[in-house]
Amino acid sequence: MTIPNQIFAFFLILIIATLVYLLSPILTPFLLGALLAYLANPLVKKLESYHVPQLLSVIVVFSLIFSVILLLILMVIPLVKTQIGILASLLPKMIAWLQTSVIPHLSEYIDAESLRSTVASKSTAIFGTVIKSGYAVLSWTIDIILTPIVTFYLLRDWDLVLKAAKNSLPKSSKSNVMELAKESDEVLSGFVRGQLMVMLALCFIYGIGLSLTGLEGGFTIGIIGGLLSIVPYLGSAFVLVFSVATAMIQFDTWHSVALVLIVFLVGQSIEAWVLTPYLIGNRIGLHPVAVIFAIMAGGTLFGFCGVLLALPVAAVIMVMLRFLYRKHYVRT
């Protein structure tokens, strides 16, 4: 008795999804490595077209990518260190501002004694939080070490992996799967490249704009916000909260705070009306609420890596749904 292809495919997807969920704590370096290898493979093919040996092409592209990543890290660390110093120098002003402006208003709605008891009851969890943070740092360290290794080996054997996957497909469904893979590749590569260009553009817009307002550490806030915009809405929220909070502490007039808000609004307008439509467009075809849900679901299931990969995965799922609709409804 033979099992129909549809039933076999359903159970295969179910098993894979279950394994991915159960193994999610250790999947981060493998998923990031696969994503980097996918993005870098066209560069390897470009070098091979100039008769550069395959292994040498992989080494050159691999070295270039991680050199750029390392350079960005080395650039960001001093900026973050400077920002921390600036915030530390502003800390006395921040405490004074909280005592004179915020706490008196809160005391009208919150009983001081209950607030103190709440803080005391929560303080017992601090030690556990510190321990968890230590484990998180160790996990991040392991991920940082493993990701380049996984990227190199996948990049080196990318053609072999694709060939093995292609040969494992049933002949009856091979043409449909190859068509679906081609469409997914076009959408995914275009979306990822566009998102990276938007991220870099926002780094310059926010960094230069906040610097021109005279905001201390404004360039750092802008750069970090632009980099965080690789996760939709996260970069914008970071820039808004940190720039406005710093401006309220640093400046004495609301006029200066308004300038910071204008920079934020200009950046948001350029992103919404120029960068995203022209660089990304409607490649995924998801409603904004669905985008937020995808990001939260990815973060819940796979942590920070899930947040990064939520929209690319959503893009592939949308391609699959459109493909199935076209095959089973449009033609019938």
Q: Name the pLDDT band for 217 (thresholds 50, 70, 90).
A: confident
Whether residue 145 has pLDDT greater than 80: yes
Which is it for the CA torsion 272, 202, 82, 141, positive or negative? positive
Residue with tokens 């099992």: 3
Whether residue 122 has pLDDT greater than 60: no
**Distance in angstroms (rounded) separating the CA atoms of residues 56 and 268:** 42
Q: What is the tens place of the pLDDT at every residue in 9-34?
A: 666 677 877 777 777 777 778 888 88
Residue with tokens 């919404």: 272
**Distance in angstroms (rounded) separating the CA atoms of residues 221 and 211:** 9
Cα-based angle 54, 154, 12 (whole degrees, multiple of 5): 135
Whether residue 60 has pLDDT greater than 90: yes
Mean pLDDT, rounded, for 114-131: 51
Whether residue 238 has pLDDT greater than 90: no
| 47 Cβ contact partners less than 8 Å away, ≥ 6 residues apart | 56, 57, 60, 61
pLDDT for the residue 103 = 62
Cα-based angle 58, 60, 65 (whole degrees, multiple of 5): 95
**Distance in angstroms (rounded) separating the CA atoms of residues 236 and 269:** 11
List the domain boundaries for the chain: 27-107+129-168, 175-332
Average pLDDT, the chain: 76
